[in-house]
Chain A
Amino acid sequence: MLQFILKRLGLAILVAFTVSFISFSLLFLSGDPAAALAGETASGEDIEALRRLYGFDRPMLVQYGEWLFSAMQGDFGESYYFRLPVASLIADRLSVTMILGVCGITFALLTAVPLGVIAAIRLNSIIDRVALFISVAGQAMPSFWFGLILIVVFAIQLGWLPPSGTETWRHFILPTIVLGYYAMPAIMRLTRAGMLDVLNSDYIRTARAKGANETRVLFRHALRNAIIPVVSLAAVQMGFMLGGSIVVESIFALHGAGYLAWESIARNDLPTVQALILIFSMFYIVFTFLADVLNAWLDPRMRSS
């Protein structure tokens, strides 16, 4: 088991470096970083001076090697745009994104799993239809639209919650709902499908035939097995939320890492983009790894495989 985990970890690190190298190469080809840095008002001479100053005139492999060496020591360099150390810049922004991501996935799980279970138990009932409608609406509605609707209703009309910013916990309520609602439909449908599958299986029939308590059948036997794919999905969704909460962060002016990544790409702020790609890919890898461990705990058969 330990050997398996170590192998997986080694592979994961290799994946992270491959991702960072590919993204480094692609970003480099996406436009002149010196021109992006210099801004709209700069002349050709300004751009040339910046190119020399930042060493963009050197071979790309040399630049990547230097970056990697420093990154392994925790030094991601200085943001070209903010002229601040990337590590501290990202630390500030990442905390916002982490709070949002954790709240979002918690909201999604707390609404999707019970709804999925109830929908499966009461198949084709009104509750099932309502659950499916909520899920379809969540998938169909763009986040920016839903976010603005919530702002209009809860911030402007009712005046209950602030429309944007990060000053208090109240500022996180609307973005959490929007982000969570985006992840919720897939989790709900998977829980529902998993539950339906499991409830029709032989061992559930056997448990019932043996006269087991229905609550015990549902939660001890059925849900425990139905939830396994949901764990993997939630891990992927969590990774997505950290890297892809750009729209939500933009609408609610949250200034998180997702929005920073988006803006940094547009500004060709290479050190920031590189660090964020590495961090986000590490998050994906760590969450996937944790999901595997959790699944192994839930399903003993996985431990031996």
Chain B
Amino acid sequence: MKSTVLKSTITGLILAATSGTAWADKADDTLNVAFTKELENVDSYFNSSREGVVLQRAVWDGLIYRDPVSNEYMGNLATEWEWIDDTTIEFKLREGVKFHDGSDFSADDVVFTVNYVADEANGVKTQRNVNWMKSAEKVDDFTVRIMLKENFPAAIEFLSGPVSMYPSDYYEEAGPEGMGLKPVGTGPYKVTEVVPGQHFKLEAYDGYHDSPKGKPSIKNVDIRTIPDVNTQMAELFSGSLDLIWQVPSDQAEKLAARDEFQVSNESTMRVGYLTLDAAGRSEDSPFTDVRVRKAVNYAINRQELVDALLKGKSKVVYTPCFPSQFGCDEDAAVEYEYNPEKAKELLAEAGYEDGLTIDFYAYRDREYAEAITSYLNAVGIDTNFKMLQYSALREQNMKGETVVSFQTWGSYSINDASAMVSQFFKHGSLDYAMDDETLEYLNIADSSTDEAVRKENYTKAIERITEEAYWAPMFSYNTNYVTTNEVEYTPTADEVLRFTTVSWK
């Protein structure tokens, strides 16, 4: 609360102190952007941050492109593709594409990239993005086949997202470290300068192919890492930044009230939820009783949380996945409307008429987590609030030591339910339900190439998970993008800032 007051005061001070400012960099065609987080490595296979995804989409291309609005798959470095069998996809590649270093793109690059990233020994950071691929082989210079380890229908989605194509000769020599310092791709922007953790300069690539991503409209993009949001705002006011994003809602509201700035809000795929220890992995979990799990679900006023805290395009979520994801059937989910009386009844039925006390864990968004605990307290579930570093909480989660924790999951912008529901309900170390029936549905859904079969089984899994109230899904997150009035940008729901769609007014 104190920090919110402080933040508002600081924002107010900055706002009060400023008047109309002249924006400098439209003249030299440079878009000045701030990242809050230091990026560990620009090589997209060796970072797992949102900022890394933004650079990945600007610097490299994948074989396939998914339109972020229509969700339609289109050819990018591939012009067409075909499933040869359940575990083989053949791609016809686009001819005449050149990497930023002038080398030609061909089947050899795809073969090298896939074989490199699929090999666990090479240590790609987010293994899930690549470990479904076994290998790739060249058919001819512009035809290539990717072999999967097993049936994996979400392959096309992954190939349209985190799987970028690298220049084989260059990458073989430079490796992740060299690629991180001097990135080379086929993407709409080439990197002209990298100062690790501090600064990235991009320049529109003149030779960019006819990609569905579109050609850049702004020639230069200058990205600086500025950790403090207030400083970002000061830079915005002083005219040395044109675009900032991930701006907290209270500050975004104040900026929106001013004429010099444009605030756009868009939802993201990140979903906030409570995990409840239904499997009894921790000692004395009250959540082995379905009535207590349901009580938690009834106790929380999700809409009020969205309206008061998250704001923007966040919405209430009842599914254990983000609704736009393939297979995430909202109608299948049991919707636990806010009903504290019902929650109290269920607790009484379960033998907790005098209430109970639990350890409640969280690792981010303290204000959301605290608001959630206040709803729980109101129905008689007292909470010992424990805010931990992410790594510490993750470790405890994996060891099965947390009875209830507030978690979030962004699915790495993969628009497929497998990226979320299957991540947590397939008896892995983070599965607190350990439900065989759910596992069975997910195994079918994750491995079938028949869309109807996939949908049907995800639906059954969602029905099962929500009927049993294994989780208490809460809400989706949103992001605020603030630009000066000179900049035109319409954000997309996958929280990928695409510089090709930014333009001057």
- Name A residues whose Cβ lies closer than 8 Å to a Cβ of B: 30-33, 35-36, 38-47, 49-50, 53, 81-84, 89, 92, 144-145, 148-149, 151-153, 155-157, 159, 162-165, 250-253, 255, 259, 263, 266, 268
Residues of A within 8 A of B40 (CB): 81-83
Whether the pair A39, B49 counts as a contact (CB closer than 8 A) is yes
Give the distance to chain B from A276, nearest Cβ to Cβ, in Å: 14
Residues of A within 8 A of B230 (CB): 148, 251
Whether the pair A83, B238 counts as a contact (CB closer than 8 A) is no
- Count, A-B residue pairs, CB within 8 A: 140
Whether the pair B410, A41 counts as a contact (CB closer than 8 A) is yes
Residues of B within 8 A of A149 (CB): 13
Q: A81-B40, A148-B10 are in contact. Are A53 and B123 (CB under 8 A)?
A: yes
Give the distance to chain A from B201, nearest Cβ to Cβ, in Å: 13
Interface pairs (7), CB distance under 8 Å: A35-B390, A41-B128, A42-B128, A45-B428, A47-B394, A148-B231, A164-B226
Residues of A within 8 A of B428 (CB): 43-45
Query: Which 10 A/B pairs are nearest by Cβ-Cβ distance?
Result: A36-B391, A39-B48, A31-B392, A44-B429, A32-B395, A31-B391, A35-B394, A253-B226, A152-B17, A163-B234
- Interface: B70 (CB within 8 A): no
A259 to B228, CA, bound (A): 12
Q: A41-B128, A45-B127 are in contact. Are A255 and B198 (CB under 8 A)?
A: yes
Q: Which of A40, A42, A151 contacts B234 (CB 8 A)?
A: A151
Whether the pair A255, B197 counts as a contact (CB closer than 8 A) is yes
Whether the pair B196, A89 counts as a contact (CB closer than 8 A) is yes
- Interface: B398 (CB within 8 A): yes
Residues of A within 8 A of B210 (CB): none
A49 to B130, CA, bound (A): 14
A148 to B176, CA, bound (A): 38
Residues of A within 8 A of B238 (CB): 155-156, 159, 162-163
Whether the pair B394, A259 counts as a contact (CB closer than 8 A) is no
Whether the pair A250, B227 counts as a contact (CB closer than 8 A) is yes
A202 to B302, CA, bound (A): 75
Whether the pair A43, B127 counts as a contact (CB closer than 8 A) is yes
How many B residues face the partner with a CB closer than 8 A? 49
Known: A43-B423, A46-B128, A151-B234. 10 other contacts (CB 8 A): A35-B398, A36-B394, A38-B48, A41-B412, A46-B125, A47-B394, A82-B41, A153-B17, A157-B18, A255-B38
Give the distance to chain A from B270, nearest Cβ to Cβ, in Å: 10
A40 to B128, CA, bound (A): 12
Q: Which of A38, A83, A152, A252 contacts B14 (CB 8 A)?
A: A152
Whether the pair A164, B234 counts as a contact (CB closer than 8 A) is yes
Whether the pair B127, A46 counts as a contact (CB closer than 8 A) is yes
Chain B stretch 6-30: residues in CB contact (< 8 A) with chain A: 10, 13-14, 17-18
A84 to B392, CA, bound (A): 25
- Interface: B430 (CB within 8 A): yes
Whether the pair A152, B234 counts as a contact (CB closer than 8 A) is yes
A266 to B364, CA, bound (A): 13
Whether the pair A32, B228 counts as a contact (CB closer than 8 A) is no
Residues of B within 8 A of A252 (CB): 231
Residues of A within 8 A of B225 (CB): 253, 255
Whether the pair B126, A268 counts as a contact (CB closer than 8 A) is no
Q: A36-B390, A253-B228 are in contact. Are A31 and B120 (CB under 8 A)?
A: no
Scoring A31, A164, A250, A268 by chain B CB atoms within 10 A of each residue's CB, the highest score goes to A164
Give the distance to chain A from B207, nearest Cβ to Cβ, in Å: 29
Whether the pair B234, A259 counts as a contact (CB closer than 8 A) is no
Give the distance to chain A from B426, nearest Cβ to Cβ, in Å: 10
A42 to B10, CA, bound (A): 36
Residues of B within 8 A of A43 (CB): 127-128, 423, 428, 430
Q: A164-B226, A255-B198 are in contact. Are A49 and B234 (CB under 8 A)?
A: no
